[in-house]
Structure formats: structure tokens, C-alpha cells
């Protein structure tokens, strides 16, 4: 089955850049997503990338996709305390349009 892996924890200082990494196993995924979960809340879609793209930038967020290595990353520039949350990557493997497979989540802690 599909497997999406992330490191569990990342700590950065306010103002620095954060890079959250994700590896996935299904190379047929057409979309890859990043979701953010704040304490006590559900997940919210941050951004997504088509599998035929290498990079997508959206304000402070940069998504990089390396299809050869099945590696996805999310870079947050000028990290703020409000960015403290759990970040999930997710893939939508071909043939499973109704299902998203989520990673284990990376808890981002932003320190002053």
C-alpha cells in the first residue's frame, strides 16, 4: 500500500526558514498536498502541487517536488509564531480518487 513518511518534529527560531520534508511511495500520484493543523482544530489545505511541476511558490510558502526521489518539501520563509502547528503531506494515488493518504505529520515549533 501507499506510505507517506515525515519526521515528527522540527524546531526553528522566529524569522528563520523552516523546511518540512516528506517522502511518498506511489509515483503515480497526480497531486500532492500540504495541510496545516492548528491546536484543537481540523486540517486546512495550505497548498498543493501537480506531479508535472517541480516547484510552486505562494507568498512565504515554497513547495519542491523531486519525483525521481519521491520527495516533497515545504519551505516557510520568515517563520512566525503563528506558523506553529502540525503539517501533513498527503498524496492522491491514481485510481484512488476518493482517498487521500496522509503522512504522520510534522510538529513545527517556532521559538523566539
Residues lying near other proteins in the complex (CB under 8 A) are found at: 4, 8, 30-31, 33, 40-45, 48, 88, 92, 97-100, 102-105
Q: Closest distance between other proteins and the C-beta of residue 28, in Å? A: 13
Cα–chain center distance at 45: 10
- Round the CA-based radius of gyration of the chain to a whole number and report it: 13
Closer residue to other proteins, CB minimum distance, 17 or 30: 30
Q: Closest distance between other proteins and the C-beta of residue 6, in Å? A: 8
Contact of 26 with 89, CB cutoff 8 Å: no
Among the listed residues 29, 27, 36, the one whose alpha carbon sits nearest the alpha carbon of residue 74: 36
Q: Closest distance between other proteins and the C-beta of residue 33, in Å? A: 8
Amino acid at each position: 500500500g501507499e506510505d507517506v513518511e515525515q519526521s515528527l518534529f522540527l524546531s526553528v527560531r522566529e524569522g528563520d526558514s523552516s523546511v518540512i520534508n516528506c517522502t511518498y511511495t506511489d509515483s503515480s500520484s497526480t497531486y500532492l498536498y500540504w495541510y496545516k493543523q492548528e491546536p484543537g482544530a481540523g486540517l486546512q489545505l495550505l497548498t498543493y502541487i501537480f506531479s508535472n511541476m517541480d516547484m510552486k511558490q505562494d507568498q512565504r510558502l515554497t513547495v519542491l517536488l523531486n519525483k525521481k526521489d519521491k520527495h516533497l518539501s515545504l519551505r516557510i520563509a520568515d517563520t512566525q509564531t503563528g506558523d506553529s502547528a502540525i503539517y501533513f503531506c498527503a498524496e492522491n494515488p491514481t485510481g484512488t480518487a476518493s482517498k487521500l493518504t496522509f503522512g504522520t505529520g510534522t510538529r513545527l515549533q517556532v521559538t523566539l
